[in-house]
Amino acid sequence: MRLTPISIGNVTTENNVFLAPLAGYTNYPFRRLCKGYGAGLCYTEMVSAKGLKYGSENTKELLYTDENEGLCAAQIFGSEPDTMRAACEHETFAPFPIVDINMGCPVPKIYKNGEGSALLENPILAEKIVKECVKSGKIITVKFRIGITEDKLITAEFAKRMEGAGASLLTVHGRTRDKIYAGEVNFAEIAAAKKAVHIPVIANGGVFSDTDGERLMKETGADGVMVARAALFDPQLFCDLTGKGRESKLKMFEKQLKWTGTVCDERFTTVFMRKMAAFYVKGEKGAAAYKDRLFSAQSADEILVIAREIWG
């Protein structure tokens, strides 16, 4: 696909292929892995603005980064403009020049709190949140869906409002809230957002191969694409999208295991890397038996032994 840097405020990404924020997965080691395979920009897991306000240690852990990662964006969610701005100004956000506001999460708990995709139904509040966050001095971007249901598509108008409020980039997930992560991506609505604004628009949804990425760019006219769930099964999809050479799955896994163990405790490393190995082994001969063994593993070393049997 056509690679090009993206200017977001006063920073420029290496290319226009981004890693989406994925709750429970896009921690520092995983982002670093995807960045090494070609991702031009990676996002942290979704962070609660209220969590930061009340000093949640778990929330702070989600924002771990270091100098090895390079440019990274943090994503927050919430519905109170003042609290959202305070989150942007929080000391843990210092390493992140870009803060993305989640206006697309479909999870019922988030939606019922008036956060995430619920903001699509309250564009005036959404504007207030963006305007307030811009005052923090951070570069503010917004990720949103095309509507709540197919009979209430709001993409172009919502995009205009977000640009007018001060957003520097928009990511449009081409599905409605009720579709969650299933169903066809609405290319026309993403294209409508692109035509409606003058800031960069990133298309999100349905990218599982370089062919998917090329089609999404062509059909929408977007400035770039964002990879989400597909990266969990194959982080090296970014190699395909950017023209980088792939490496062995074992080398990839060893790298991620090492980095996770460096910044996380043994328990988290074991549980997290069991999940990742289960993603990576999908489609392999004997995958079911390997998954059973992986989820019985009690240490990172034990997981590594199994991984070497699978991919060695």
Could you report the per-residue pLDDT of 129-154, keeping only the tens digit for each? Answer: 999 999 999 999 999 999 999 989 99
Does the pLDDT at position 56 exceed 80?
no
Tell me the average pLDDT across 97-117: 96
Predicted confidence band of residue 57 (pLDDT cuts 50, 70, 90) = confident
- pLDDT exceeding 90 applies to what percent of the chain? 89
Predicted confidence band of residue 55 (pLDDT cuts 50, 70, 90) = confident
* Mean pLDDT lowest among 25-29, 56-60, 85-89: 56-60
Does the pLDDT at position 1 exceed 90?
no
Name the residue among 22, 89, 24 with its Cα closest to residue 53.
89
**Stated pTM of the model:** 0.95
163-212 pLDDT per residue, tens: 999 999 999 999 999 888 888 999 999 999 999 999 999 999 999 999 99
Amino acid 192: pLDDT = 98
Query: How many Å apart are CA 106 and CA 77, to the nearest integer?
Result: 12
Name the residue among 68, 174, 70, 177 with its Cα closest to residue 120.
177
Tell me the average pLDDT across 280-284: 91
Predicted confidence band of residue 299 (pLDDT cuts 50, 70, 90) = very high
Q: What is the mean pLDDT of the chain?
A: 95
Enumerate residues 6+ apart whose C-beta is below 8 A from 41: 6, 8, 13, 14, 18, 19, 71, 72, 73, 98
Amino acid 16: pLDDT = 98
Q: In order of start, what are the domains of the chain with their CATH numbers?
A: 7-242 (3.20.20.70), 249-311 (1.10.1200)
Does the pLDDT at position 58 exceed 90?
no
Query: How many Å apart are CA 58 and CA 100, to the nearest integer?
Result: 19
Amino acid 65: pLDDT = 94
105 given a catalytic annotation = yes
Query: How many Å apart are CA 39 and CA 238, to the nearest integer?
Result: 6
Q: Are 157 and 149 in contact (CB under 8 A)?
A: no
Question: Taking CA 235 as the corner, what is the angle to CA 308 and CA 174, rounded to the nearest 5 degrees?
Answer: 150
206-238 pLDDT per residue, tens: 999 999 999 999 999 999 999 999 999 999 999
Tell me the average pLDDT across 32-56: 93
- The alpha carbon of residue 293 and the mean position of all alpha carbons in its chain are separated, in whole angstroms, by 29
Q: Burial level of 236, CB count in 10 A (0-12/13-18/19+)?
A: buried
Question: How far is CA 287 from each of CA 174, 178, 245, rounded to the nearest angstrom?
Answer: 32, 32, 25
Which of 34, 72, 105, 133 does the annotation list as catalytic? 105
Q: Are 141 and 175 in contact (CB under 8 A)?
A: no
